[in-house]
Amino acid sequence: MTEKDQSQHADSALNEAALKYHAEPRPGKISVTVTKPTDTQRDLALAYSPGVAEPVRQIDQDPEAAYQYTAKGNLVGVITDGTAVLGLGNVGALAGKPVMEGKGLLFKKFADIDVFDIEVNAEHPQEFIETVMRIAPTFGGINLEDIAAPHCFEIEASLVEQLDIPVFHDDQHGTAIIIAAGLLNALELQGKKLDEAKVVVLGAGAAGIASVRLLMAMGAHRDNIYVIDRNGVIHIARKDLNPYKWGVAADTDKRTLGEAMQDADAFIGVSGPDLVSPEMIAAMAPNPIVFALSNPVPEIRPEVARQVRDDIVMATGRSDYPNQVNNVLGFPFIFRGALDVRATKINEDMQIATVHALKDLTHQPVPQSVLDAYGLDSLEFGPDYIIPKPFDPRLKEVISAAVARAAVESGVARTPYPSHYPKN
């Protein structure tokens, strides 16, 4: 059996297992559970009529009482229009539901946050915005998911402006945060600095644009970042740029991916499979950094890149290579911290705080439970460990605390920093 045949056989087996996992013994991955006693007539009288009338009156007098008497404060809406589902594209709202349920599973597993997944049939951004606005009172926060660019930028900006709860498009900011944390550590290992590094970003969708914005907010130079879309380098002389691409346009004579890769310090791929050649990797500056994050097939496979460079630090989006850039390192704990201080938004300060918390955690000794989960004897900061592992139990406390503290310090928290969080 050839390597290609083996890969196809493995994919087929995984697909069958995934269908069985989702269908049995009960369809779907999440459910609603009851949190109060329901064993007696009095229990039911308290849960519904007539007892439920009193919390209704309290909330009517003070909307903030909803956080005390309902599940709102620990409930996140995971909401999509199905226009950019994983690597499958515009499959529609209903077909995106398994992914939204999966997101709910991750919220609950890693941060004990409850989720309602909402799939919205909306052809235009304004229809989606209006739908979310009308259902927003249900939630303590909203995680937007799998919405295609450029509509995702308009949708998120409008909802952030109009709502008083956190609205977070994870495909933008979650990805950007994990990339930034890993990149800072990789730059440190390679003896480079963010404000001097030449960075190539292949892909100008939600993740690519958000990553560039975050890196610039943290000190990267706009004209040292070359963003590539289907038409080549995004530069200031182009006439086909929407406002979001114009915001990342560089003043440069470079026009192609190959030209941009010449002497580049870092490459970030959020695009498609096998788009980067070994020759492009060979042309990069000494001690290069390559984040090939296309899934399941990277822009270039690590084993191919290492054939031409032995001084490289690499990350991918896959769990079977070191340094997996995985959004689960961020979004559950970002929302945990935001919800715990009733933040009105997840702002740039909170995002940057998450970046530094992830970066710093990688420098700490790794718990034995993490080694056991990944079948490792040892793990320490270095070329094969530049971002924490998803099953690291410290993530919930460290990231949530950093987010909550940043929310309080930046003035978007409605309650004090929680007493059960770390003091420093």
Please identify every residue annotated as catalytic.
48, 103
Alpha-carbon dihedral sign for residues 34, 145, 350, 362: positive
Rg of the chain, C-alpha, whole Å: 23
Q: Please provide residue 258's backbone torsions phi and psi, each rounded to the nearest 5 degrees.
A: -60, -40
CA distance 173 to 360: 19
